[in-house]
Structure 1
């Protein structure tokens, strides 16, 4: 059996798959020129993850929105809007202050909030994975706590 794909296609596919133990092969509809999956991830998509991250971090620390707002020096309304509205485009200053409170790089938080052009495709993929694995509950589940910790790891790397 001879594969008729260029070396670049395999490299791009390996980048898309990341670290994987098992592969299912090439889907019949896949094109060698298909763009990387993260190019289809929009600021709206990452803002969903940004809002979830803010909410889960706050809840994980036992804070209500008002306490987070006070600690960060921003309005409580802005915290609530960030957490609840993925269309919200937060102020850069608020994102910087939240990043400081969370102990994560402000540049990556700016990307996540959709305020700067993404330079980290892996971060965008992790953001979507994180948002998909978390649900708004009163207390964090073990799965949410693990997702939060993994996402903080992705932000700080």
Structure 2
């Protein structure tokens, strides 16, 4: 499992971060983006999130998880493009996101965490640490299920 923690800011380099995810992503694993709100967009926030979401839908992502307020429009835009509703899920609470990741993550997955530290710095940093630290537990539980 690889975790790319780029949670300092969502803009302007979201496209570049997704390119890194595609290049770094392990060939056998899934590419999963966990994205927060893009900040400082004012009255254009919804439109810009939708536009970025449509671009996301054309990337080679397996799953897109969005967190917080306007990021839900990233998911809506991605679904308007090429991603299915199964591939996109929006979260308003970090605990819900962690529960989903605990169930969904697999050995070989590559995660991109991208969000603004202005809004949720500690939560995304802790999420990155949690993904890395829980990697050992994930490997153990998958090994046990493979043995049975």
Q: TM-score, normalised by structure 2?
A: 0.26
Normalized per residue, which structure has more helix?
1
Larger radius of gyration: 1
Normalized per residue, which structure has more strand?
2
Q: TM-score, normalised by structure 1?
A: 0.25
